[in-house]
């Protein structure tokens, strides 16, 4: 191996790309959940679950959706996955 030559690690690239996606979209996903349910703790939980689901499905990012729409798809899907048919009502 030559000096200065580093091995390419696709797993590390995927992690860095996902971290960048999280940084760029975390506030948008959080605001979506906070506005939808008006509950800070629930918004935090759903935001974490959104990114957890997105990480598990990171290989689907190369699809037809933009990264922003791809992430919001998980934000929408995480509520029924978390609560089933008993979707929480917004706080009053």
Residue 56 in this model has a pLDDT that exceeds 90: no
d(CA 11, CA 43): 29
Determine which helix (DSSP H) or strand (DSSP E) holds 17, and give its type and residue range.
helix 10-37
* Average of per-residue pLDDT across 25-47: 92
88 confidence band (pLDDT: 50, 70, 90): low
Quick check: 11 pLDDT over 70?
A: no
Encode pLDDT of 15-35 as tens digits: 567 677 777 888 999 999 999
CB atoms within 10 A of CB 34: 16
Query: Could you report the per-residue pLDDT of 60-72, keeping only the tens digit for each?
Result: 776 677 878 888 8
């Amino acid at each position: 191996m030559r000096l200065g030559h580093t091995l390419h690690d696709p797993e590390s690239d995927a992690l860095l790309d996902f971290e960048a996606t999280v940084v760029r979209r975390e506030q948008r996903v959080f605001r979506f959940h906070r506005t939808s349910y008006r509950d800070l703790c629930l918004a935090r939980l759903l935001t974490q679950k959104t990114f957890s689901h997105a990480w598990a499905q990171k290989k689907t990012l190369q699809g037809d959706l933009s990264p922003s729409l791809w992430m919001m798809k998980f934000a929408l899907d995480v509520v029924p996955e978390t609560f089933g048919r008993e979707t929480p009502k917004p706080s009053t």
